[in-house]
Amino acid sequence: MFYLGEIAALLICWLFYCEYYWMLERRVLKVCSRQFVEQKCVRAVDRLFFTPVSGKAHLGTLYYFNRLLVYCLTALTFFHLAFGWAELTHGVIRMLTTFFVVSLGTFAAIQSPKSAEYICANINITSGRNIRLIRILSFVSVMILIVTYLYFAWVYL
């Protein structure tokens, strides 16, 4: 049960990372046009880290933080898939996953209203009431995911 529960938590961490990535993407697209980004970022690694346009978009430490997050989450995922079945690693995996869920979840909760506005703009939702509702639902869903993980990881398992 622990193994599957922590895999689900890692998927939540990756989902929260997507919120960070979308924040970077919005920041890059404010400075550079979409065509310029598509022209410069040809490889998948370039699309993930925005390496060719990071200087022009003034990403600074966000660029390095993005790389660090991807490498750490990838290492944690592989560590869990390889050694998650072992009873001795459960505490380490639980602590690291909790750290990532809480830290990335807090950032995702802060960024969720901006992401909701961006999504609403892309799908032509113009009603202020609907935008507010989507912003609130986005924030609440992130908070529910964090609290649910904390409950199941530290009380149930």
pLDDT in tens, 69-113: 999 999 999 999 999 888 899 989 999 999 999 999 999 999 888
Of 128, 131, 125, the C-alpha closest to 113 is 131
Give tens-digit pLDDT for 113-133.
Answer: 888 887 877 787 778 888 888
d(CA 95, CA 97): 6
For the beta carbon of residue 30, count every other beta carbon within 10 angstroms.
Answer: 9
